[in-house]
Structure 1
């Protein structure tokens, strides 16, 4: 099958090539998929798309016109795809519903520890030859209450890690994992109770119409003063304006973020010689109590292998005239 790969990053190309195993003709491009670049896939039967690509109705029309019948997403999220339009056109779409949950869970822990123990502040002081400790006080994780919003595979992996720290675990999820609760001591409760009791709140739920801006000024107002907020899920689950206000009034002592609600067009690109015009993002990344990474939580060898393998499983099934179990 001839396949066009949009938004190709250098770090993922070897994994995709290995998973393809010379069974497909791959055309790699650094260009993101949008209205002006849909024509690049002309003559291909399938595309491989990333979370930063535009798969809106008009773009899907253009892809169909140029011969695209299959879209393999190399991501879990599919909120950037107009699935109704794809179905109307008869374009099959599949995602990667599961890959190493430890990659994102461990990154959430890394953000939490760096935030709590003031590692970024400490490095800035050290580079200035300031070795004073006055601004670097953190707290023991032992016996602290950790709130986990979204206790799926990633949230579950995070729960197991934090259980090892000796933390008390509270979880919020429509589906309760009794086995996980038994192993870790996690107690399921309401979202409000999680926020009221937790010293740390870590977000691991998908972005849906119900979870968009779930974390807003109403929920922030219910949180324990001095809470740490970690988000490695989706940026739009958190209202950034309300988050900044909660940081200013000290309700939230710090935020560790791997995602940002307006990250499209910013993350995954080198802006060394360009100016980013986003006042909200500037306020967020310049806040001394915020650590931001550029949507890199998934970036481990194991996760990239899983993503590439599942992507080509989907494409191989379609090439054989079969359905993929990952179709959405």
Structure 2
């Protein structure tokens, strides 16, 4: 029985090398699933389980998965599942499992890394030092202490962000479809409506999943309700923000700065081997790509390549959970299934 891990690097391969995983034939490939050459495909097409990462360039849809007729399990090494067509998997009776909890501290700390770089202009000052062009007055920042942070989404990561914010002496507002009242009481945070969060927050940070209902949650209407000079942080999913709208409000100064570890259509920017067919390029995609590139060049925007998860501790937790997910499935005790989830 074959298990194929796509999108692997040396750290992944070294860590998993001695894992038995049901005494199966485990194959590690560096490439994403859509870049498999013909010879390799012949060796893996009978795979019963595959594992992919959130960075996989291909969407796990019918076109991709039809090539694997014996497939029983997809083990994604991520919490997010928006890269997988769950409806198709249900029709094929393919189980899908994920890693629900691996890096709340990891991503929360990265969130504050982006925020501190924006609030104190660390990257700008460092670059000027390298270029021997230092202008002290250009690096005037602001304290986090006594400012208000608005957290959209209080799952494990959002709650950890709130804990860190309280440590900085910040006022914490939160919005969630399912408020955690015990957490609110213990950590002295305040659940409010989205409109109130927009209006009162000096910093807004996103920690919500991507769904069809919250796509472009931050759009023209939302930005209009925010304070002048608001800071936006996104370490969740790129399509939570309307990229063109964000760029427009960065230029106007309504948004004083943005720290983005995720972008809309980020695969197009992160993978130089993606082939986009002419018929696939629509006006929205083209305009979004232009806006992404403009944001990349803007001095008040920090963009990183979806690495908020990427500490060695978190990666090891991801791999451990993935191995247990695979072993449990083939032992008839499926864990961390997402088949009840809706996209």
TM-score, reference length from structure 1:
0.92
| Structure 2: segments with no counterpart, 5+ residues | 275-285
* Residue equivalent to 1:33: 33
| Structure 1: segments with no counterpart, 5+ residues | 272-276
Offset, 1:178: 2.0
* 1:59 corresponds to which of 56, 64, 70: 64
* Residue equivalent to 2:304: 293
Higher share in helix = 2
SS at match of 1:266: helix
SS at match of 2:270: coil
**Counterparts of 2:202 and 2:182 in 1: how far apart (Å)?**
24
* 2:53 corresponds to which of 50, 53, 61: 50
Structure 1 residue 129 corresponds to structure 2 residue 140? no
**Counterparts of 1:7 and 1:105 in 2: how far apart (Å)?**
24
**Counterparts of 2:149 and 2:175 in 1: how far apart (Å)?**
11
The 8 Å contact of residues 34 and 55 in structure 1, kept in 2 or not, is answered as no
Deviation digits for residues 132-160 of structure 1 (CA, Å, limit 9, x no counterpart): 21110111111100000001100000000
**Counterparts of 2:258 and 2:73 in 1: how far apart (Å)?**
39
Moved more, 183-192 or 15-24: 15-24
**Counterparts of 1:185 and 1:15 in 2: how far apart (Å)?**
40
Count, aligned residues: 321
Structure 1 residue 247 corresponds to structure 2 residue 258? no
**Counterparts of 2:37 and 2:238 in 1: how far apart (Å)?**
26
Offset, 1:113: 0.2
The 8 Å contact of residues 21 and 326 in structure 2, kept in 1 or not, is answered as no
**Counterparts of 1:130 and 1:189 in 2: how far apart (Å)?**
44
Q: Identify if the C-alpha distance between structure 1 residues 20 and 142 changes in structure 2 by more than 3 Å, giving closer, same or farther.
A: farther
Structure 1 residue 16 corresponds to structure 2 residue 12? no
- Correspondence 1:179-258 to 2 at 5 A: 179-258=182-261
* Residue equivalent to 2:321: 310
Moved more, 89-98 or 11-20: 11-20
* Residue equivalent to 2:334: 323
**Counterparts of 2:151 and 2:223 in 1: how far apart (Å)?**
15
Offset, 1:306: 1.4
**Counterparts of 1:225 and 1:270 in 2: how far apart (Å)?**
40
Which consecutive segments of 4 or more residues in structure 1 shift more than 4 A?
18-22, 35-38, 268-271
SS at match of 1:12: helix
Offset, 1:305: 1.5
Offset, 1:129: 1.2
Deviation digits for residues 22-72 of structure 1 (CA, Å, limit 9, x no counterpart): 843221112212386694631321100112242012212222x2x221111
**Counterparts of 1:186 and 1:19 in 2: how far apart (Å)?**
42
**Counterparts of 1:93 and 1:283 in 2: how far apart (Å)?**
37
TM-score, reference length from structure 2:
0.88
Q: Identify if the C-alpha distance between structure 1 residues 207 and 327 changes in structure 2 by more than 3 Å, giving closer, same or farther.
A: closer
Deviation digits for residues 258-305 of structure 1 (CA, Å, limit 9, x no counterpart): 00111114326699xxxxx94332201101100011100001122112
The 8 Å contact of residues 204 and 232 in structure 1, kept in 2 or not, is answered as yes
RMSD value, Cα: 2.1
